[in-house]
Structure 1
Amino acid sequence: MVQAGRLGRSWWMAFLPVLLLGCGGSNDGTFVARDTVAIRGVVEDGTPTSPVANARCRASGLDGRTLHTANADGNGVFVLLVDPGVDGFIACAPPNQSALELRAFFSTDGQPVGGELPDQVILPETTVIARLVAQEFSDDPGIDPLARQAALREAVARDPDLQLLTEAATLLFNGVRGGDNADFEALFMDLVDDSVLDAASFESRAEAINEALAEREAELGRTLEQAFLARFPPFNLSVLHHSGAVGALIDAGPDRADFGGIARFATVVEDTRFASGTFGSSILLSAGDQISPGRLLQPSLDRQGRFFDGEAMSRLGYAALGLGPRDLALGPVVLADFLSAFSPPVPLLTSTLDVSGEQNVLAPILNERLPPIRIVEVGARRIGLVSAVRPDLARVSSPRRLAVVQAEELIQIVQGQVDALRAGGARVVILLSQQADLDAERALAAALEHVDVMVAAGGDSLLAGPEDLLVPGDEPLVAGAYPQWVTDAAGREVPLVSTAGRYRYLGRLDARLDPLGRLLDIDELNSGPIRVADASLADGVIPDPDLQADLIDPFLEAIEDLATQEAADIQVQLNATAASLTSVETNFGNLLADTVLALARSQAQAFGTVNPGVAVVPAESVIADAMIPVDSLSRSEVFDLVDPEVLVTLVPTVTATALKRLLEFALAAGGGAEFLQLAGLRLEWDPAGTAQVLDEEGEVVTPGTRVRELRLSGGGVLVEAGEVRENASAVAIATTDRTARRVLGQPAFGGTPVNLGLSLPQALDRYLIEALQRRVRANDFPEGGSERITRLGD
C-alpha cells in the first residue's frame, strides 16, 4: 500500500510535461532484470476489441523522469522494469500517436527486488481517474492515491457522472485512434467545454463522436461539462511573480541595502510556497528585464562560462520568464549566455518575437529555452503561459536580427498564441507582458480574450494596498490597488498585477478557480506585494544560505575585483565636469566621442548596418561631474563616469541638413544636457546667431543660424558660412540611444536607428583597454581640447 505521507509534495509534479531526452532503459518484455520489479499489464481501448496492439509504454516517476520504456505486444501486453519503492505513472500510446497517451498510477512500494507487480490495466477510464486523483491529492496530500484510484474505478458503475466522463474518454480515444497525432488531454478538455470536438484535424471523425456523446448525455440526464464540474474539484492557484530584477543580485541599490537581493528573495519565495500551503499549486514567473547593462553585469561578461544572474535565478524554480528591453540591451549573444546558465533550463517566452534571424547564435538554446508559449502543470492542472514584449523593442534595446511583432499585429499574434494554449488543453492562461507603461498594459489586456491573469512589467509600476509594507521611498511608485481589474474583449474581468523591480517585492495573487479554470474569486487578504527585507527588520528574512555561499559571495568578490583591475593609466587630467561638458569641448568629451565612434564601427557589421563616419555624444551621458586626476583608473570607476543605461547607437544616412538641424538644437540654449561632444567633425559656432526654435511636435519653427562651419575631420565640407553645401555628403552617425530616440526633444535627423548591443560604460571600458592599451596620453587628449568645437567671439 502506498503511504500518502511518503509521497509528500512531489505528487503535484506527476503530470509535468516529460522531455524525452532519453530514458532509464527499454525492454521488449522478455527479459526481467534481477534488481528491479517487473510491472506487467495490458493496455486496452475499453471496447470489446480491446487491446492496443504494439503500444509504446513508459513508466515515469512523480518528477516526470522516464524510468523505462517498452513496446507492448500484439495483444497490448507490456512489461516495464522499475526499481522497488517507486511511485509514478504508466503511460501507453498507440503506434504513431505518441501524444494520445492513456495513463494509470502505479507503485512498487513494498515490492521485493526481482518481484512482480501484475495485472496493471491501462484504459481511457483509468486516464480520467488518474487525472482526478492527481487533482484531489494536490489539494489534500493526506489521501492514499492508489486506494483512491481503485475506489473510483469500482464506483464508475453506480456514479452517472463518472460513467459519462469515462465513457466519453473511451468514445474519444477510439474515435481519434488511427488519425493524426494529438494530445489526448487537450482533446478531452475540448470535448468537455461544449460536448463538441472542435479540433480541425479530426473534423471527419468529430461528427460520430459528437452524436454518440449527445445520445449518452441524454440517457444520463447531464452534459459532460456538468459531470466534470460535479466530479473534479475547484482549485487554488498562487501566482508568484516579479519583474525588473535588472541584475540586482546583492540588494536594491544605494541607500536600500536592507531590501531586495536575490538571496533574500529566494527565502521569501520558499517561505511563501510552504508557509501558505501553495507549494503544489503555485507558479513562479518573471515578467522580464532579468538583466541590465552596468557594473553588476560586468563580472558575468568577463567570466566566460559563468553567468551569475542565470545561475542564481535557476535555483528559484521559475516556470517561465518574460522578455524585457534590458534583457536584449547588449544583444542576442548576451541573452543566450544568460539563458544557457539555467540548469535545468527555464524558457524565456518569445510569443511576439521572430528568432529565425539569429539562428546561428540561438540554435543551441532555441527549442528548450526560447519557445513562443509553454504549458506547465500546477496541481495536475494545465496552465498556459504566453508573453508580449513592447512593439518598439528595437528603439529601446538591441535585438539585432530578432524581429519584433509591430503594434498593428500585436493583438492578433498574442490572441493566436492564447488560442493555441487553449487548444493545447490549458485551463488557465497567464500573460507575461512588458509594454511601455501601465496604460499600455491595460489596453492590451482589454483587447484580448481568454487571458485569465496578466503579469505586467510596463513602467516598473507598483500595485499595492494601503496595508502593504513598502520599501521606504517607493510610495510615489504606487499606481493603484493590487490587483487592477480590466474588462477584456469578451466582457470578463481580468486581474492585472505588477510589482517594482530589483528583487524588492514578490507579488502574490491567490486565485480560486472552478474545475474548468474559470476565475471564482481572489483571496484579497493574502494577495499583494510581499516586501523583501533584511532580517533586522520585523518582516525581514535571512538570505538563503546556499545561494549566498555558492553564488552571491563569489559575485561580491568579482565586483570587488573590478576595483583592483586597471582600465587605464590616466596621464592627463580629464575634464568631466558638467559645467564644461554642457557648453564647450573637453578632453573627456573627446575621449567619450572617440569611444562611441570606434566601438560603433566594431559592432556595425555584426548588427547588419553601415560603418559610421562621425559621432555625437550629448553631455547628459556623463554622470561623473568631476575632474579625473592623473592616476590609475580602475574598471569599477569607469561605471561611475557615464550612464550605464545608455546604449551605443548608429543612425544611418543622416543628411548634412539634418545634421546641422541636430547641432542647432544642441546649441540653441548656449549650453545644457543636449550639448554635443564630437568625433570625426570640426564645428565653428556663433552664440550671437539666431537660436533654433521647435514647436511641441518637435518641428522646426525657426531654423537657427548658430552653426557657421562644419567639416569632416577628413576634410569634406558640410556647412560653410552658415549654409549647407549643395552637394554635401550624407553621413552615418554614431551616438546614444537617447539621442536617436530624441528623448531631450531633438528634431528628427535621420533614418531608423540601430542599437549596437553596447552600454556606454562597457564601450568605454573596452576602448580604454583594447584601443588605447590602458593609456590615456596628453598628446591624444590635451587639456584644452583638440579644436573640434570652436566658439566664435571668444
Structure 2
Amino acid sequence: MFSPQTSKLAARRPLGMSALSLALFIAFAPAQAEKLTLLHVGDQESWLLSAQGNLRDNASQAISFYGGVDRLASVMANAQAQAEAAGRTVLKLNAGDAFLPGPRWNASKALLGTAHADGGQDFFDAIAMRHIGFHAAVFGNHEFDEGAATAARFAAVSGTTYLSSNLNFQSTPAFASLANAGRVAPYTMVSTSKGHQIALVGATTPLLPRISSPGPVSLLNHDPLQSEQQNLIRMTELVQQNVDAARAAGAKTVVLMSHLQNWNNERQIVIPRLQGVDVVVSGGGHELMADADDRLLPGDARALTGHPQLVKDRTGRDVAVVTSSFGNRYVGELNIEVDDSTGAIRAIEGSRLLRVSGNAADADRVQGDSFLKTSVIDPVKGYVDVLNSTRIGSSQVSLNGVRGSKGLPGSFEAGVRNSETNLGNLVADAMRFAGKADVAIQNGGGIRAGIAAGDVTVGDTFNVLPFTNLVRRAPSVDAGQLKQILEHSVATASAAGDVNGRFAQVSGLRVIYDTQRNAGSRVLKVTLDDGTVLIDNGVVVNGLRRFSLSTIDFTAAGGDGYPFAAAGVLFENAVDTITYQEALERFISSPLAQGGLGGLITAERYGTANPLDAAGRLVDVALAPIPEPGTYGMMALGLGLLGWLQRRRRTAHPAAAAAA
C-alpha cells in the first residue's frame, strides 16, 4: 500500500521531481520497481474539430483555437515520447463515449460508407482512435446511441479492445463474433517493457437502457425495477469477479476503466466495495479534475482540485481515481511506480492534466497531427461548413441550451435539465408542430447545445438536437396519463436546481409543481393552452378531455425512465416520421401561415426564461409566487421565502440576477 502523504506530495509535480520529493521517493520505494505512465482521455463525443464544436481556429470564437482531435493526438504523442525517454512504459486509455451523433458524426455516414479496408463503414472518430493507438476503451452510453449494430461496428474498426464487465456480448451475432475474436471483453491484459502484466477491466453505466438505445444488448446482473444504486452494487460484484480472474491469470496491477456518468458513483458506491484495484480511470461525468497549477481552457473551472483523487477500497487501501473532462480538451497523465514482484503501487511520482491548445499565444500550444489534420479535420470541417453556411433564419435572443447546475435555491444555473428555458420551449414547440399535436414533451437530456443570437443555420439545429431521435405521436391521452408522465419529469427536481436529463420541456400546457412535496405528488395544476384545467390541487379534475401528444421515440420507448408504457399511452406506428432535428429546422423555417416561425425567433415569444417567473410554462411554487388563486399548501411561507431569495440573489449574486 502506497503512502497517501507521499502520493499527494508527489502528485502535485510532473516528471521532473524536486530534490525533496525525490528523497522521499527513494526512502519509501523498493530497490526493484517499474515506472508506468497512464495517458487517459474520455467523453470525446465527436468533438473532432475544436472545443467550440463546429468552428475551427475562427477569430469570432476564441475557444475554437482549443481542442481538436489532431491536437489532442499531438499532446498525447509528446507526453508519450517524454515518458518513454525517461524509461517509462506508457498505456493509452479511453474512458468511453468516443462518439456522439450530430453533424461531425454525420460526416462519417455521408463520406465513409465504404471507406474501411474491408469495404464497409468507417468513422472519422475511429480513424483518430486507430492513429492514436489506445490500449483499451470502455463502452460508454453514447456508443449505443444509434443501436447495437453501430456500436459493434464502431468497436470492430476502432483499433482497440472495447471493455465492459456488465454487457452481455452474446446478445447479438455481431457482438458474439467480436467477443470470440477478443475485440470486446470484460477485461484485457497488457504487458510492460519488463513483462509486467497489467489488467484493464471495464464497467458500463447500469443506466444504459434508460439513457441510450442498446436494443438487444442486455446488461448482466441488472434489474430494471431496481434503483441505479442497487444496480451499481450488483454491477460491482461482476467487476470484482473480473478483477479476481485477472489477478489469477497473472495480473499484478489492475486498472478499472469505468463509465458510470458521475465519478461519485465510483467514489461512494463502487470503490468502497472492491479490493485489488489500483487505479480507476473514470468517464461519463465530464468532471474537470485538475491540480492547482494545471493550465485550463478559457472559461473552464475545476470541479475537483487534485488529479488524482484518492479513495479507500473495502480493505482501507488507497485507490487513485482520475478523469479528464470531455471533448478532446485535455489529456490526463498519471505517473506511477509499481513493485516488480507484487505489482503494488509504491508511489505516484507525478500527475498532470495537459491542456490541448492551438492558440499561438499559449506556451503549451501544439501543432495538430498532420495525418489526422488531412484525414479527419479537413473533410469533417468541409462537411460541417456547408451546414454552417445554410441559413434557415435568425434569432433575436440567445437561446439557453446548457445542462444547468445545482446551487442555492433561486440562484442556481438554469438549464434544460432543471428548469424551463427559452430553447427548451422552442424545441418543445417544434415537436408539437411536427406531430400536429395538442401538447409536446421533450426531455432535457436530448438538448445538447444553445444557439447564439443572430443567424441560425442547419448546423445549429444539429448541435442542439444531435441524436437520431424520431418524432412520435400519441393520438389520445388523458389527464391521468399526463400526470404520471409529468410526475416522472419533476421527481428529481429541486429548488436548488438538481440536474437530470428526464426533466421535461413542454409545449401546449402550463405546469405548476412543488419540489417541496414528495416525488409522485408534486404536480399541482396543469392547464392546456386553450384554458382547459386538467389537474387542480394535485387532483385530476377533467378526465374526459382527450388530447394528442408528441415526444421522441427515445422517451416513448422508456428512455430516461419515462413511464409512457406503464401509463398506457399508445403511439401511432407512423412510417413518415422525421427526426427531432428536422422538426426544429422545419419549425424555424416554415411560414407563419403554416404554423412555423417564418425564419424569425422573436424575443417576444422566446425571451429568457426565469425559474422565478410565475408566468412561465413550468413553475415550481417552492421558488415562484402564483398570481392566481389556489389552495397550495404553505403558499404564504413560500412567498416569504421567495422574497428572501430574491433579495439575497440580488445582493450575493448580482450577475445571476442580471442574467435572469
TM score, norm. by length of structure 1: 0.53
Q: Give, in angstroms, the shift of residue 593 of structure 1.
A: 3.0
Is the alpha carbon distance of 1:245 and 1:370 closer, same or farther for their aligned partners in structure 2, counting shifts above 3 Å?
same
Give the letter aligned to residue 148 of structure 2: P
Superposed CA deviations along residues 488-514 of structure 1, whole A, max 9, x for unmatched, are 112222111122122222111111111
Deviation per CA, 1:75-110, whole angstroms, max 9, x where unpaired?
xxxxxxxxxxxxxxxxxxxxxxxxxxxxxxxxxxxx
Aligned to 1:529: 353
Q: Deviations over 1:736-764 (max 9, x none)?
A: 86899999xx998764999xxxxxx9924
Match of 1:341 among 147, 157, 162: 157
How far has the Cα of 1:386 moved from its partner? Answer: 0.7
TM-score (norm 2): 0.63
SS of 1:312's partner is helix
Aligned twin of 1:140: none
Determine if contact 1:251/1:259 at 8 Å carries over to the other structure. yes
Pair 1:710–1:293, CA change in 2 (3 A):
farther
The whole-number CA distance in structure 2 between the counterparts of 1:308 and 1:248 is 11
CA distance in 2, matches of 1:394, 1:747: 12
* Cα pair distance change 1:731/1:377, threshold 3 Å: farther
1:695 aligns with 2:516: yes
Equivalent position of 1:394 in the other structure: 209
Confirm or deny that 1:445 pairs with 2:274: no
1:416 CA displacement: 0.5
Within-5 A mapping of 1:213-252? 233-252=32-51
5+ unaligned residues in a row in structure 1: which ranges? Answer: 1-228, 599-611, 668-672, 712-716, 755-760, 785-790
Q: Is the 8 A contact 2:211 2:559 kept in 1?
A: no
Partner of 1:265: 72
2:123 equivalent in structure 1: 307
What is the match of residue 295 of structure 1?
103
User: For 1:670-729, what per-residue CA distance to the aligned partner results, in whole angstroms no more than 9, with x for missing partners?
Assistant: xxx966226xxxx7x8x9xxx554534333267426359899xxxxx9999973447x89
The AA in structure 1 aligned to 2:432 is: A
On the 8 A contact 1:325/1:393 being kept in 2, the answer is yes
Partner of 1:285: 93
* Residue 448 of structure 1, CA deviation: 0.5
2:293 is matched with which residue? Answer: 467
Looking at structure 2, the residues matched to 695 and 750 of structure 1 have their Cα atoms a distance apart, in angstroms, of: 27
1:350 is matched with 164
Partner of 2:25: none
The match for 1:636 among 459, 468, 475 is 459
The residue correspondences of 1:347-746 to structure 2 (distance < 5 A) are 347-357=161-171, 359-360=172-173, 362=175, 365-366=178-179, 367-379=181-193, 380-404=195-219, 405=222, 406-443=231-268, 444-475=270-301, 477-524=302-349, 526-534=350-358, 536=360, 537-563=362-388, 591-593=430-432, 595=434, 615-617=440-442, 623-624=450-451, 635-639=458-462, 642-644=464-466, 656-660=479-483, 676-677=506-507, 691-700=512-521, 703-704=524-525, 706-707=527-528, 723-725=541-543, 734-735=551-552
- Aligned Cα root-mean-square deviation (Å): 5.0
Aligned equivalents of 2:426, 2:311: Cα separation in 1? 54
Alignment CA distance shift 1:236-1:393 (3 Å)? same
Number of matched pairs: 498
Residue 645 of structure 2 is matched in structure 1 by: none
- Taking the aligned partners of 2:186 and 2:318, their CA distance within structure 1 comes to 25
Q: How far off its partner does 1:373 sit?
A: 1.3
Counterpart contact for 1:514–1:520, Cα < 8 Å: yes
- CA offset at residue 274 of structure 1? 1.7
Cα pair 1:654 1:751 within 8 Å, conserved: no
SS in 1 for 2:131: coil
Going from structure 1 to structure 2, the CA distance change for 1:479 and 1:588 (only over 3 Å counts) comes to closer
> Structure 1 residues 592 and 416, CA, compared in 2 at 3 Å: closer, same or farther?
same
> Do the aligned residues in 2 keep the contact of 1:585 with 1:677 (CA within 8 Å)?
no
CA contact (8 A) 2:461 2:584 kept: no
1:237 counterpart SS class: strand
1:88-167 matches, within 5 Å, as none
Q: Would the aligned equivalents of 1:656 and 1:718 in 2 still touch at CA under 8 Å?
A: yes
Cα distance in 1 for partners of 2:427, 2:355 equals 42
Alpha-carbon distance between aligned partners in 2 of 1:773 and 1:386, rounded to the nearest angstrom: 46
Give the 3 Å change call, closer, same or farther, for CA 378–729 of structure 1 in structure 2: farther
1:437 positional shift: 1.9
In structure 2, do the counterparts of structure 1 residues 485 and 665 end up closer, same or farther at CA, with 3 Å as the change threshold?
closer
Structure 1 contact 280–378 (Cα < 8 Å) conserved = no
Which one-letter code corresponds to 1:456 in the other structure?
Answer: S
How far apart are the structure 1 equivalents of 2:277 and 2:453? 52
Say which one has the larger Rg: 1
SS of corresponding position for 1:285? strand
CA contact (8 A) 2:324 2:353 kept: yes
Alpha-carbon distance in structure 2 between the residues aligned to 1:472 and 1:708:
43
Structure showing greater relative contact order (alpha-carbon pairs closer than 8 Å, 6 or more residues apart): 2
Deviations 1:774-793, CA, capped at 9 Å, x for gaps: 99466653669xxxxxx9x9
Once residues 323 and 519 of structure 1 are traced to their aligned partners in structure 2, the CA distance between those partners, rounded to angstroms, is 27
Taking the aligned partners of 1:585 and 1:515, their CA distance within structure 2 comes to: 56
Distance in 2, matches of 1:638 and 1:361, equals 33
Contact 1:455 1:498 in 2 (8 A): yes
1:593–1:306 distance in 2 versus 1, CA, 3 Å: farther
What is the deviation of 1:346?
0.9
1:324 aligns with 2:140: yes
Residue pair 2:66, 2:297 contacting (<8 A) in 1 also = yes
Question: Is there any run of 5+ residues in structure 2 with no aligned partner, and where?
Answer: 1-28, 53-60, 114-120, 223-230, 401-419, 491-502, 571-576, 599-616, 618-627, 629-660
Cα 1:469–1:782 change in 2 (3 A) is closer
Structure 2 counterpart of 1:482, one-letter code: H
